[in-house]
Copies of this chain bind each other. A is one copy, B any other.
Amino acid sequence: MEAAADTLRLYPDPLCGKLRETVAGLHGVTSDRVFFGNGSDEILALCTRAFVEDDGSIGFFDPSYSLYRTLAQIRNAKIQAIALDADCAWPAPDPETADLFLLTNPNAPSGRLYPEAQVEDFCRRARGVVVIDEAYVDFAAAHCMDLAQRLPNVLVMRSLSKSYSLAGLRAGYAVGNPDLIAALFKIKDSYNVNRLTQAAALAALRDQAHMLDNVRRIKATRQKLAAELTAMGFQVHPSEANFLWVKPARPAAQRLYELLKDRKILVRYFPGTGTGEHLRITIGNEEQTERLLAALRAPELDNSTPMS
């Protein structure tokens, strides 16, 4: 509120100095290891230009964040999409391949968390830069922020869109090797993060208790919803994120997606082998969760008896 004032006539701090100091303090690093972006999406786009040559390659798991493929196409890079199985288990990828590897951990849409040891081993053997996209990590039991300090080719990225509930603000950051951070600074737009976002992000990052409360509430709802859906016959994958990846017994995922949409309840459906049998259900508030469960208990949507 204070920032929505006469000072808006002034250009923003191009270096996001206070924000980067605050992030550095949170993670116990120096601020030359921190980059702040106009959402972590901007950081991903910058990485595809800073770390990938014109005939280079970009790798990622499939499924993971669908933007990765789009960014690789915009960059006109070779795409190395490593297929995950239905459980989205760690696929032991060949680390020699990509100039830039984008690794969502916890994975989306499955919510699966890959152990730090596996991620570290992969990063150590990787030829290029690895971005560990921890957009959902505040909802998880562990994180890989240590690798941003230990390994020279790793950036760990965080977002304020999920655990801080500030998707409208566009605020994300990356932590890692100062040389990688400097490369991002070199090509970014001068004033990529506006004054209002800098002020609001600073306030949000300084109020860790608020974020942790938010996370606690969402994790409690996640646990409750997982139990209810399991009881209804859904196969519910263990989730370390703010959504559940579930496989309905019947009706089939796409049909159930449409029936819920008719009732103004929006869940995510990703067509395709493996993903097409699942739905991704974002954890809402108590009221939204009750509405979802009530809808699923209606006879037409009843999931309790598997189809013969």
Interface string of A161-190 (1 = CB under 8 A from B): 100011111100000000000000011011
Q: How many copies are assembled?
A: 2
**Which of A165, A170, A190, A192 has the most B CB atoms < 10 Å from its CB?**
A170
- Residues in B with CB closer than 8 Å to A117 are none
B38, A38: Cβ atoms closer than 8 Å: yes
A-B contact pairs, 17 of them (CB 8 A): A7-B168, A8-B165, A8-B166, A8-B168, A8-B200, A10-B167, A38-B38, A38-B189, A39-B194, A45-B189, A67-B190, A168-B195, A194-B196, A194-B197, A196-B196, A196-B197, A196-B200
CA distance A220 to B3 in the complex (A): 29
Contact check: which of B169, B195, B200 meets A169 at CB < 8 Å? B195
Give me the interface of A with B, judged by CB distance under 8 Å. 1, 3-4, 7-12, 38-39, 41-42, 45, 54, 67, 74, 161, 165-170, 186-187, 189-192, 194-197, 200
CA distance A3 to B7 in the complex (A): 18
Contact check: which of B12, B38, B170 meets A168 at CB < 8 Å? B12
Contact check: which of B7, B165, B189, B196 meets A9 at CB < 8 Å? B165
- Residues in B with CB closer than 8 Å to A191 are 39, 41, 167, 170
A287 CB to nearest chain B CB (Å): 14
CA distance A54 to B53 in the complex (A): 12
3 closest Cβ pairs, A-B complex: A168-B195, A9-B165, A170-B194
Contact check: which of B1, B67, B161, B194 meets A38 at CB < 8 Å? B194
**Looking across the interface, which residue of chain B has its beta carbon closest to that of A74?**
B187
Instruction: Known contacts A1-B1, A196-B196; decide if A12 and B170 are in contact (CB<8 Å).
Output: yes
CA distance A12 to B169 in the complex (A): 8
Apart from the given pairs A38-B194, A42-B189, A170-B191, 17 other A-B contacts in the complex at a CB distance below 8 Å: A1-B1, A4-B196, A8-B165, A8-B167, A9-B165, A9-B166, A11-B167, A11-B168, A12-B168, A38-B38, A38-B189, A39-B189, A67-B190, A167-B191, A169-B196, A194-B194, A196-B196
